[in-house]
Each structure stands twice: as structure tokens, then as C-alpha cells.
Chains A and B, each alone.
Chain A
């Protein structure tokens, strides 16, 4: 069964600290993996998209890694800010599927305290 599991479910860190969010998936075949940030009451906003051949990709203070062999991805946030408080969602697409059949994780709820 194609699944996407994220950990931790929730995380609280102090402003300025770094953190790493995990995403494990069983989706096969694999096409790409996306990380989204979703503020409360808003729609998800894309942070990164990684294909099979990419190991790491950065977007400002966000750095995503991908290990396609172990089917794991991580999202590292550097020097956290209060505005980073949000849900971070991992989304995996399988090769050959329609884009409408993406597999979503439940998200990691990150809270940054001052």
C-alpha cells in the first residue's frame, strides 16, 4: 500500500534554533517528492520539489534531502523564525500516475516560540 509517514507529528522549538522533519514513504514507483508549508487556515504553499536523481535542494532557510534507496526525505529548517510556525506536508507522486493521485502525509505541526 502506498503510504507517506511523517514524524514527528508535532514539534516545538525556540526561535533561532534548527530543526529537522522526517518523511518516509512506500510509494512505488517513485516520481517526485514535494514539501509544502501550510499556515493555519490557508492552503499549502510549495517549498521544494525533488526528483529521483536529486539528493538535496535548498530554498532559503529550508533544505530538503532525499534518499530514494531508503525512501526517506528530510526537511531541515535553519535559524527558525516565528513565521515558520505551520504544518509541513510531505507529498509523493508515483511515476506514470496522474498528478491528481498524489500521496499526502499528515504533516508535522511546527511551533516556534520566542
Chain B
């Protein structure tokens, strides 16, 4: 079962609105990520964080911003949404697996954003 939660799962908003996509994980992972995924395309990293008060931009330029005030929480904000922001946003976290010790990357269920 997923230990990383994203809300809302679906959001339809008008152009110019401010939105925040929430992401929380209960695994105590230090590293968290936001990916953007369009249909039939690969995931693109837009933001990542290695711990509290640490945030970095990813490979894909994005007009969104993130914050990491608490370990378990990594919200993504769009100050003024545009139709070009319509996409699926996936949050993930990484850390050692409790059973194998291998470093695993766990994804949330995603937030599908539609901007009209």
C-alpha cells in the first residue's frame, strides 16, 4: 500500500487561479520529488528536496514552486495557472526499504490538473 499521499487527485480550475498540490509521506524519507507526466510521455523531474529547507529545480523548467518545512510534507504551488500547466503531477519519495534495505522510490497516486 502507498505511504505517500497526494491531494487533490483531480482538479479543474480556470486560468489565473493559484493552486497548491499537496504531498505527504509517512515513511520518514528525507528525499522527495515532483514529476510531471503527459500522456504517453516519460516522467520529467521538476523539483526535488533532500530534506527540510532544501529544495532544488529539476531537469524540466517549471513555473511552479515548492517548499519543505516538514520532512513529511512537500507541497507544490502554481501562483497563476495556465492551460499549458495541464498535466499529471506525481510526487515521490525515496529511502531504504524496510525489508531489503535497498533504496526505493515510491510514488503517490498523482494529481491530474486541468486548467481551462
Interface residues of A (CB under 8 A from B): 4, 34, 36, 41-46, 49, 89, 91, 98-102, 104-107, 109
Contact = CB atoms under 8 A, between A and B. Distances in A.
Contact of B105 (A42, A99, A107, A109): A99
A34 B42 contact: no
Contact of B102 (A49, A89, A107): A49
B90 A43 contact: yes
A49 B42 CA distance: 18
Nearest to A42: B109
B94 to A, nearest CB: 5
B43 interface: yes
Contacts of B2: 43
Nearest to B110: A43
B42 A105 contact: yes
For the complex of A and B, 3 pairs with smallest distance between CB atoms: A43-B107, A100-B48, A104-B42
B31 A100 contact: yes
Contact of A104 (B31, B43, B106): B43
21 contacts: A4-B42, A41-B109, A41-B110, A41-B112, A42-B110, A43-B107, A43-B108, A44-B90, A46-B105, A49-B102, A49-B104, A89-B43, A91-B105, A100-B31, A100-B45, A100-B58, A104-B43, A105-B42, A106-B40, A107-B42, A109-B40
Given A42-B110, A43-B6, A100-B33, 14 more contacts: A36-B107, A41-B112, A43-B108, A46-B104, A49-B102, A89-B43, A99-B103, A100-B45, A100-B58, A101-B59, A106-B42, A107-B40, A107-B42, A109-B40
